Amino acid sequence: MNRAAIAVVLTALVGVVSAEGLTFEVVSIKRNTSEVGPRGVRREPGGRVVATNATLDAQIANAFPVVGGLRNIRGIPSWMSSQRYDLIVQPAAGSTPEQLQTMWRNMFETRMKLAAHYETVREQVFALVNTTKDGSVPRKLVRSNVDCGTPRAPNTEQLAPPQRLPNGATPCGLMLNANSLLSGGITMAQLAQSIRGAVGGLVLDRTGLEGRYVFSLTYNPASVAPGTQSELPSIFSAVQEQLGLRLETQKSDVQILVIDHAEPPSEN
């Protein structure tokens, strides 16, 4: 099947999912033209998202999943990467990840007339692989025993301070800084996605390790000025020495998302 045929099939499948008609209980989108003030995105238990003074391009993957995030989304209109908005979406309690994805997709299609399709291209990527000879879990990774996959209803009461694990992360959480990653129980796919900025390219999970793991990773940030002395290892050395994994370069077929059309959202 050629690329055009694949794109037609995937576009049709997108239409089938969107036809389910699932929508958020609350959607608020307002243009933010202030040049000062806080910026960021807060994701709450249950699927509620609050974005403040943020661009909308980073939210596309909520509706159209793509490995590698924005790097593998083509045709993003300039307004979506430059104009800033205050966005709130609230799903019904207990919504599944699949339902949340459909809600995001329907929201983009309804409010921004967004149309997109998938294509497959061949690119050089970094593969995250396991170094153990028998495929077992490396000793430096600790398997999480917390159920992180069950959606939780939003808590409207005052929240207690979050529980912290010995490495400083919250259970099921991820703390990502310029030179460190603290995992409270993430998957290897989440790890691969989280380190792509430090690696400088798309990272694919080829470890074969299922489940979630608790670990700490400290490395020399990719943004450090050339010639700067640092005692921290490179991300490549850190992954092998601290996690028992390895990063390898490979050629791979990569699915990308192509934006065909999108308009500034109707506000409310």
For the cut 90, the answer to whether the pLDDT of residue 216 exceeds it is yes
What pLDDT score does 153 carry? 53
What pLDDT score does 151 carry? 53
- pLDDT tens digits, 105-134: 999 999 999 999 999 999 899 999 999 999
The mean predicted confidence, pLDDT, of the chain is: 86
Specify whether the CB–CB gap between 175 and 169 falls below 8 A: yes
What pLDDT score does 8 carry? 44
Q: How far apart are CA 196 and CA 128, in angstroms?
A: 11
Q: 1 pLDDT band (50/70/90 cuts)?
A: low
Torsion of the alpha carbons at 197, 187, 183 and 228, rounded to the nearest 10: -20
- Helix residue ranges, H only, the chain: 3-18, 60-63, 78-82, 97-112, 188-194, 196-199, 235-243
**Would you kindly state where each structural domain of the chain is located, as residue ranges?**
3-121+255-261, 132-152+165-243
Q: Which whole-number Å values give the CA distances from 126 to 96, 135, 232, in the listed order?
A: 31, 19, 21
> For the chain, what percent of residues have pLDDT higher than 90?
59
Q: How far apart are CA 164 and CA 69, in angstroms?
A: 28
Torsion of the alpha carbons at 179, 185, 188 and 193, rounded to the nearest 10: -50
Paired tokens of 61: 């993957």
pTM: 0.61
Q: Which whole-number Å values give the CA distances from 91 to 67, 112, 136, 153, 158, in the listed order?
A: 24, 19, 39, 10, 20
Q: Hunting for tokens 């249950």 — which residue is that? A: 46
